[in-house]
Structure 1
Amino acid sequence: MSALKKTDIFDFTLQNGVNKSWLPLYYQVFGQPIGTAPVVLVNHALTGNSQVTGEKGWWNALIGENKIIDTELYTVIAFNIPGNGFDGNSEDLIPNYKDFTAEYIAKLFWKGLNSLGIYRLFAVIGGSLGGGIAWEMAFLQPNNIQHLIPIASDWKASDWLIANVLVQDQILNNSSNPIHDARMHAMLLYRTPESLKAKFNRTKNDNQDLFQIESWLLHHGKKLESRFELAAYKLMNHLLKTIGENMDSEQLLAFAEETTTQIHLIAVNSDYFFTADENRETFEILKKVTNQVSYNEIQSIHGHDAFLIEFEQLSGILKNIFATTKLKTILA
């Protein structure tokens, strides 16, 4: 397992003028040592962390030795969003979760990379919230990322997403069992009716007291409650609605005209969270001014969570992106 490391960020001013004299930014490095190979930054989603591969790695199917993102060929870095609780200090680090935005997390990540001597990325990849932060990183430095790969995400929060963030925020601030109850609601956004039917089909537990779907939801609520802090959940949920809040379609076009980044949009056809329709609209906007954009769609009944389920499809989409450097490395 890669050790959890820390780089210190000093004198960081947030958008609302709040100054952080010091912020610790925790991260892990996998694969090749920094400075010896192309760098792939992996941004985690709402309940994720920097453990992207190895023991308890949440993206082991994609990242590791001889995987699509091959740690024999790449330096893979993953930061923890400050306050995500992976180092156990959410409450102290983030006293007011609404001080932070996705854009300012992106700025922190760039500062963290620069502190490690990294100024250009071969790729930045992330699903859901992680993809939104990847977009924000590209907006900040349009010529320092070779491949931008947002998965089940978009460059902005839609009205639908903002509405659901509000409902989650209300549950987190008003429920007597906030993490548990918010997680149960969220699971219905991450999956689809078809997915739940295929999994449970109205079956009951052996004791016949509960339907299996009820037990499953209660289990997910309890599971997250046992490993995630309330302050962390409030922050991560809030960040979702801030994705692209300082951008509009005209600014997106201006970014596309300026950037040298190759943009790889990957949506899920059944996603209820970051919908495929929104991603298709983004693709139509971008392709008006650049040919450095592609669109792929994972076909799945499982909704938003398909980016953590449909690994065979996702690997097929990503293969050509990461094969380029693989060939160059072998030939070298």
Structure 2
Amino acid sequence: MENKPTSITLQNFTTESGAFYATLNLSFQVFGPALLSAPIVLVNHALTGNSQVLGENGWWNDLIGEHKTIDTTKYTILAFNVPGNGFDGFSIENYSDFNARDIARIFIEGIRFLEIKKLYAIIGGSVGGGIAWEMVALEPKITQHLIPIATDWKSTDWLIANCFLQEQILKNSSKPIEDARTHAMLCYRTPESFAAKFQRTINEELAIFNVESWLLHHGEKLQKRFQISSYKMMNQLLKTIDITRDSASFEEITSRIEADIHIIGINSDLFFTANENKATYEELKKYKNKVSYQEIVSIHGHDAFLIEYKQLHNLLQDIF
């Protein structure tokens, strides 16, 4: 089950913005049955995630594994690393060359390279789900099921504003990763989540509020394992999700998608709000039969897709 990322090299890739890359490194991991021997589930990671979806440092261990919601005795799990996320030691300095659609195109090239004809499902949370939307917009027949969680087909003004602030912090702070992470944690959780967790308690040892020591801890932890170039790259992708960019209308693009679309929102998400998700669903169901909207109910906000496993299991078990 444990494995190291495998790399493939893509040749002559031109980004949507016109930047040319003679070679691009695309790494991935496979879990469960060997590729092409079972239905394949592509898992797209979020901002600080990577291809290690299960195992010792697996970030979705509660959802994916032997006899879990997505059962690795029945399904092959494929997970690509977003080029530049740093997990495979490969970095991209010119992060502004890329948008979310470029990553979708790169993942599609990877799928072709691996000779996969059709995926059973594409699932992703947050920016990973946005990349999943971009993939089905580009290749409407690529998967049987699309499962975007805590995400949407576009970055809203609110999201773009937060990403802009993240970028400013990453450019200008003397402790960029720690400070950007501190701000991001405020968007990933909610006032209620913090109130329940900390109750205005004090860390006696440090003589600061526990909420402050928790934020410092998260910043330091990320700083140890994440490069600034990776953070800038992933933040840029989060800001640039838009399946309608430079192309047809939302209806024209989505009416071509053949997958069953299972939208999962979070009632308290401050980042990709439930209202935006509901609006997407209401629009889609006017002309698509195979679309559903379900909601995780949680005080924890955007991060609930990494916390509320029982609810996620209940929402996904019929698909898997």
CA distance 1:56–1:208, shift in 2 (3 Å): closer
Partners of 1:316 and 1:248 lie apart in 2 by: 38
CA contact (8 A) 2:243 2:250 kept: no
Deviations 1:126-184 (A, max 9, x none): 00000000000000001221100000000000010000000000000011110010000
SS in 2 for 1:314: helix
Q: Distance in 2 between matches of 1:163 and 1:128?
A: 16
Contact 1:179–1:224 (Cα < 8 Å) also in 2: yes
Q: Distance in 2 between matches of 1:206 and 1:222?
A: 20
Q: Alignment RMSD, CA only?
A: 1.3
Query: 1:106 maps to which residue?
Result: 104
Residue identity matched to 2:62: A
The one-letter amino acid of 1:22's match is: T
CA distance in structure 2 between the aligned counterparts of 1:34 and 1:208, rounded to whole angstroms:
50
Question: For residues 254 and 130 of structure 2, what CA distance do their matches in structure 1 show?
Answer: 16
> Over residues 249-282 of structure 1, what are the superposed CA-to-partner deviations in whole Å (9 max), with x where a residue is unaligned?
9722113322211000000000000000000000
Q: How many Å separate the matches in 1 of 2:247 and 2:185?
A: 30
Moved more, 190-199 or 200-209: 200-209
Structure 1 stretches of 4+ moved >6 Å: none
Q: Distance in 2 between matches of 1:208 and 1:24?
A: 44
**Distance in 1, Cα, partners of 2:206 & 2:38:** 56
d(CA) in 1 for partners of 2:218, 2:193: 16
Q: Judge conservation of contact 2:244–2:253 (CA < 8 Å) in 1.
A: no
Alpha-carbon distance, 1:292 to partner: 0.8
Q: Deviations over 1:72-111 (max 9, x none)?
A: 1111100000010102232xxx120000110010000010
Correspondences of 1:281-320 after superposition (within 5 Å): 281-320=279-318
Match of 1:75 in 2: 76
**What are the within-5 Å matches in structure 2 for residues 1-332 of structure 1?**
1-90=2-91, 94-207=92-205, 209-244=207-242, 246-247=244-245, 251-322=249-320
Q: Kindly tell me: are residues 244 and 148 of structure 1, through their superposed partners in 2, closer, same or farther at Cα, counting changes over 3 Å?
A: same
Partners of 2:10 and 2:248 in 1: how far apart? 33
| SS of 1:146 mapped into structure 2 | strand
Give the TM-score of the pair, scaled to structure 2.
0.97
Which residue identity does 1:79 align to in structure 2? Answer: F
Asked whether the 8 Å contact 1:6–1:27 carries over to 2, the reply is: yes
1:248 positional shift:
8.8
Contact 2:133 2:243 in 1 (8 A): no
Please state which structure has a larger fraction of its residues in helix.
1
Identity %: 58
Offset of 1:205 from its aligned partner?
Answer: 1.0
Letter in 1 for 2:75: Y
Q: CA deviation at 1:3?
A: 2.4
Question: Residue 319 of structure 2 aligns to which amino acid in structure 1?
Answer: I
- Kept in 2, the 8 Å contact 1:124–1:134? The answer is yes
Cα distance in 2 for residues equivalent to 1:21 and 1:202:
53
Alpha-carbon distance in 1 for matches of 2:195, 2:255: 44
TM-score (ref. length: structure 1): 0.94
- Contact persistence 1:157–1:245 (CA under 8 A): no
Aligned partners of 1:256 and 1:289 also within 8 Å: no
Whether the 8 Å CA contact 2:83–2:90 is kept in 1: the answer is: no
**Cα distance in structure 1, aligned partners of 2:67 and 2:78:** 17
Give the letter aligned to residue 309 of structure 2: F
Aligned counterparts of 1:95 and 1:258: Cα–Cα separation in 2: 35
In structure 2, runs of 5+ residues without a counterpart are none
Within 2, Cα distance between the matches of 1:108 and 1:282? 25
Q: Output one character per residue of 1:188-221: Cα deviation in whole Å (capped at 9) or x when no partner.
A: 0000000000000000012361010000001111
